[in-house]
């Protein structure tokens, strides 16, 4: 049976907030468009370029920074390396100069209000997150390229099969949870080692582990930064950051100068249920407040759900025993495989499946990873993922003002807590007696997504987004 080859570095991508499907994906689409143009023409042959944003990208594009992402992508900037503090000035320069440096090489006239259009009432059939680039050249040629941001920063060009990556033969091809369990039984390997063996089809073990560690370092830095930054989030909702004050209260005047000293101070605070619960919430809030502020985050598997996995991993580091660098890598390898199974069997795009596809999937990923690191069997790991998703089924995506803030930031705290609870339940259970398998819950999630009204799928047309009207005409 054909299988889709998804790497851990597909599931975890370093980028810029606030949305993987509405920010990172369009950014990557713009970069791919530039590469495509250069394959046909020198950039100095381009005389005009117009961007059309369709469907969900149009309806919540302003709140998600889709316009900003596209402009930066067309300008040759990369979300992994850009100085996030320079973003506002770069956009102001494009607006004031009415031009952008196409691909970082060719100055092209570009009036944002005219050349970047939000088509609120039009949607393309393949996916709600569509965008087209209309290109004109000096020799009079006019052509277009259309891309779809399908969730988690994944981008598909119109006419492509899958994500455009060359197929790779993996030693352990996996489409479903049953496939994964089959290989675990056949080899006796834990899930993280199955994942690592598959990763070797792309890279060396040294490079894989270094790459996964870089993912963790980015998550760690984001969490630490978010816990030590105060102020108001951008976008007009006047949402105040909460992680800063919560961290200050919980740390109780302890002095520290680094992340390591901070974690040591956290551990000294004890292990009461309330104390741990507050810290898990603090970790999750910190990441998604950074995400909402165009900070550097990791899709896990999306930006809107970027706080769940770091929060659960920080919980594991701060409050569990025998944590090593290897176990942190194990955590992320296991989490990535669960996410890839959800992507193959359903979706990780809120525009397709509501928030169950983001917070629900991230919670399942975190629950599975924690269970593996806590010594759970392969079946308990899958059971933890199933429990976590089962109790997120039907969760809608209804961001107020189209911003990834309310209820998105708090939902990350809920997803993290549910992940820990699901892991504990699985570790104390016998999977032989479970009636619901992970594959069954993924199928249920997908059928729920298909039945869900489009106004609850990242359009800001329903739910809290309309119950709390704010008069933000641009959203």
Give, for 362, the enclosing helix (H) or strand (E): helix 359-373
- Coil, strand, or helix at residue 304? coil
Q: What is the pLDDT along the chain (475 residues), one digit of tens a residue?
A: 456 789 999 999 999 999 888 999 999 999 999 999 999 999 999 999 999 999 989 988 888 899 999 999 999 999 999 999 999 999 999 999 999 999 999 999 999 999 999 999 999 999 999 999 999 999 999 999 999 999 888 999 998 765 445 678 899 999 999 999 999 999 999 999 999 999 999 999 999 999 999 999 999 999 999 999 999 999 889 999 999 999 999 999 999 999 999 999 999 999 999 999 999 999 999 999 999 999 999 999 999 999 999 999 999 999 999 999 999 999 999 999 999 999 999 999 998 999 999 999 999 999 999 999 999 999 999 999 999 999 999 999 999 988 999 999 999 999 999 999 999 999 999 999 999 999 999 999 999 999 999 999 988 889 999 998 764 433 3
Domain locations in the chain?
8-13+20-157, 177-467
Beta bridge partner(s), residue 131: 53, 147
Protein fold of 8-13+20-157: 60s Ribosomal Protein L30; Chain: A; (3.30.1330)
Classify 99 in phi/psi space as left (phi over 0), alpha (psi -120 to 50) or beta: beta
Answering whether pTM is above 0.85, one says yes
Neighbours of 268 (CB within 10 A): 10
Number of helices (H), then strands (E), in the chain: 21, 9
With a CB cutoff of 8 Å and minimum separation 6, the contacts of 90 are: 71, 72, 75, 77
């Amino acid at each position: 049976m054909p299988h889709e080859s998804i790497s851990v570095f597909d599931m975890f991508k370093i980028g810029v907030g606030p949305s993987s499907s509405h920010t990172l994906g369009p950014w990557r689409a713009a970069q791919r468009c530039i590469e495509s143009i250069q394959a046909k023409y020198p950039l100095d042959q381009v005389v005009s370029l117009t961007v059309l944003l369709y469907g969900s990208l149009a309806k919540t594009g302003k709140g998600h920074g889709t316009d900003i992402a596209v402009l930066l992508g067309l300008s040759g900037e990369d979300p992994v390396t850009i100085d996030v503090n320079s973003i506002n000035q770069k956009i102001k320069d494009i607006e004031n100069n009415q031009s952008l440096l196409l691909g970082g090489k060719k100055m092209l006239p570009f009036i944002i209000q005219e050349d970047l259009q939000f088509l609120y009432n039009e949607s393309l059939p393949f996916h709600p997150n569509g965008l087209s680039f209309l290109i004109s050249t000096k020799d009079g040629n006019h052509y277009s390229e259309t891309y779809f941001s399908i969730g988690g920063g994944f981008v598909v060009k119109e006419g492509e099969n899958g994500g455009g990556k060359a197929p790779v033969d993996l030693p352990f091809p996996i489409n479903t949870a049953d496939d994964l369990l089959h290989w675990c039984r056949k080899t006796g390997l834990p899930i993280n080692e199955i994942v690592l063996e598959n990763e070797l089809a792309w890279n060396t073990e040294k490079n894989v582990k270094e790459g996964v560690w870089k993912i963790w370092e980015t998550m760690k830095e984001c969490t630490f930064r978010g816990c030590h930054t105060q102020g108001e989030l951008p976008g007009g909702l006047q949402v105040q950051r909460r992680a800063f004050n919560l961290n200050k209260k919980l740390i109780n005047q302890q002095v520290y100068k680094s992340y390591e000293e901070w974690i040591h101070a956290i551990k000294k605070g004890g292990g009461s249920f309330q104390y741990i619960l507050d810290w898990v919430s603090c970790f999750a809030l910190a990441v998604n407040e950074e995400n909402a502020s165009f900070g550097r985050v990791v899709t896990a598997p999306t930006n809107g759900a970027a706080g769940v996995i770091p929060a659960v991993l920080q919980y594991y580091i701060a409050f569990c025993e025998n944590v090593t660098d290897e176990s942190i890598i194990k955590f992320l390898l296991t989490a990535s495989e669960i996410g890839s199974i959800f992507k193959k069997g359903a979706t990780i795009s809120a525009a397709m499946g509501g928030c169950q596809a983001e917070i629900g999937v991230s919670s399942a990923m975190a629950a599975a990873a924690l269970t593996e690191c806590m010594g759970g069997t392969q079946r308990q790991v899958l059971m933890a993922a199933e429990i976590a998703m089962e109790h997120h089924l039907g969760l809608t995506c209804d961001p107020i003002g189209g911003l990834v803030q309310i209820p998105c930031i708090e939902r990350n705290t809920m997803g993290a807590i549910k992940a820990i609870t699901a892991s504990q339940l699985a570790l104390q259970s016998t999977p032989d007696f479970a009636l619901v398998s992970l594959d069954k819950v993924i199928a249920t999630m997908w059928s729920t997504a298909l039945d869900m009204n489009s106004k609850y799928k990242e359009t800001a047309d329903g739910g809290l987004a309309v119950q709390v009207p704010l008069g933000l005409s641009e959203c």
